[in-house]
C-alpha cells in the first residue's frame, strides 16, 4: 500500500496564480484532511471531509477550497495565491474522525 | 479557547539520557490523545495513541506516554534516547464533541547529541 500520496512535492507560484494540490489514499479511509504547517505553529487544519460527499472548514479555511472527488481523493485549491500561503501542506486520512490520522509526505509551496 | 500546550519547544539531550516531553490540553470530557513524530524532511508518523483503558500506553521505538486525567496531561517518555530520535514531536488531541478535529500542540524539537 502506498498510504497517503500527495502531488506535487514542491511548487513555486506567483501572487495571484491558482493551483490545486492533489491527495489520494488507498487505505479505504472515510475521512480526509488538509493541514498547513508553519514554523512554531504546529499543524493547523484547513478543511476536512468526514465522509465522502461532505466537507467542513477547519481552523484556517480562508483562501482555500476543497473537493472530495471520491472516497480516495481529496484536493485543495488555492484560487489566488498570496505570500501568506507559503507553507508546507499535508494531507491526512483516517478511518473516522475520532481515529488516528495517517499523513502524506507533504507539498512545500512558496508564493512569491 | 480549546488548546494543546507543549511545554518545551526545544530540548537537547545526550544519547542514553531519559526523555520526558510535556503535553497539556484544555478540553473537558472524553478525549482521544496522540503523539506524532516528524523526522527531518519526512511526514508525520504516529508514535502512540490513547483512547481508553490503561493510562500508560506504549508506542513504537520504545516510547510511552501516561494519561493523567486530573492533570489534563499526556506526557511522552523514553528511558534512553538515541541519536536517531532527533525529530520534532507533536502532541495532538481529538475531542469527539468537537466534531473530531485533531488539534496539535506547537511541537517540541528534540536534538540528541551523539
pLDDT tens, per residue, chain A with 112 residues: 789 999 999 999 999 999 999 999 999 999 999 999 998 788 899 999 999 999 999 989 999 999 999 999 999 999 999 999 999 999 999 998 888 999 999 999 999 9
Chain A residues with beta carbon closer than 8 angstroms to that of B59: none
Given an 8 Å threshold on Cβ–Cβ distance, is B94 in contact with A42? no
Residue B65: pLDDT over 60: yes
Cα(A69)–Cα(A44) distance, integer angstroms: 22
Return the C-alpha cell found at A1.
Answer: 500500500
Nearest CA in chain A to B91: A42
Sheet with A64-68, edge to edge strand ranges: A4-7, A19-25, A74-78, A64-68
Cα(B91)–Cα(B100) distance, integer angstroms: 15
Tell me what the mean pLDDT of segment B34-41 comes to: 94
Chain B residues with beta carbon closer than 8 angstroms to that of A92: 44
Return the C-alpha cell found at B97.
Answer: 464533541
Q: Which run of H or of E encompasses B76?
A: strand B73-78
B87 exposure class (CB count in 10 Å sphere: 0-12, 13-18, 19+) = buried
Mutation target to probe the B interface, by most B beta carbons within 10 A, among A3, A27, A37 is A37
pLDDT at B96: 63
The region, left, alpha or beta by phi > 0 then psi within -120 to 50, assigned to residue A73 is: beta
Given an 8 Å threshold on Cβ–Cβ distance, is A90 in contact with B43? yes
Q: Are B74 and B94 in contact (CB under 8 A)?
A: no
Across the interface, of A101, A105, A106, the residue whose CB is closest to B102 is: A101
Chain B residues with beta carbon closer than 8 angstroms to that of A103: 36, 43-45
Amino acid at each position: 500500500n502506498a498510504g497517503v500520496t500527495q502531488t506535487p512535492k514542491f511548487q513555486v507560484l506567483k501572487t495571484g496564480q491558482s493551483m490545486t494540490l492533489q491527495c489520494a489514499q488507498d487505505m479505504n479511509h472515510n475521512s480526509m484532511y488538509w493541514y498547513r504547517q508553519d514554523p512554531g505553529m504546529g499543524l493547523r487544519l484547513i478543511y476536512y471531509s468526514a465522509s465522502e460527499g461532505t466537507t467542513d472548514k477547519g481552523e484556517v479555511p480562508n483562501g482555500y477550497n476543497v473537493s472530495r472527488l471520491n472516497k480516495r481523493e481529496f484536493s485543495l485549491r488555492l484560487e489566488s495565491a498570496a505570500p501568506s500561503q507559503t507553507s508546507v501542506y499535508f494531507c491526512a486520512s483516517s478511518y473516522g474522525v475520532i481515529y488516528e490520522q495517517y499523513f502524506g509526505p507533504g507539498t512545500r509551496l512558496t508564493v512569491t | 479557547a480549546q488548546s494543546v500546550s507543549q511545554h518545551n519547544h526545544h530540548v537537547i539531550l545526550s544519547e542514553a539520557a531519559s526523555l520526558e516531553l510535556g503535553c497539556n490540553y484544555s478540553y473537558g470530557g472524553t478525549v482521544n490523545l496522540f503523539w506524532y513524530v516528524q523526522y527531518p524532511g519526512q511526514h508525520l508518523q504516529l508514535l502512540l495513541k490513547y483512547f481508553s483503558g490503561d493510562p500508560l500506553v506504549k508506542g513504537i521505538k520504545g516510547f510511552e506516554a501516561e494519561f493523567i486525567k486530573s492533570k489534563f496531561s499526556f506526557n511522552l517518555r523514553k528511558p534512553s534516547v538515541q541519536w536517531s530520535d532527533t525529530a520534532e514531536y507533536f502532541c495532538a488531541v481529538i475531542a469527539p464533541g468537537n466534531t473530531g478535529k485533531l488539534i496539535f500542540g506547537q511541537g517540541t524539537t528534540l536534538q540528541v547529541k551523539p
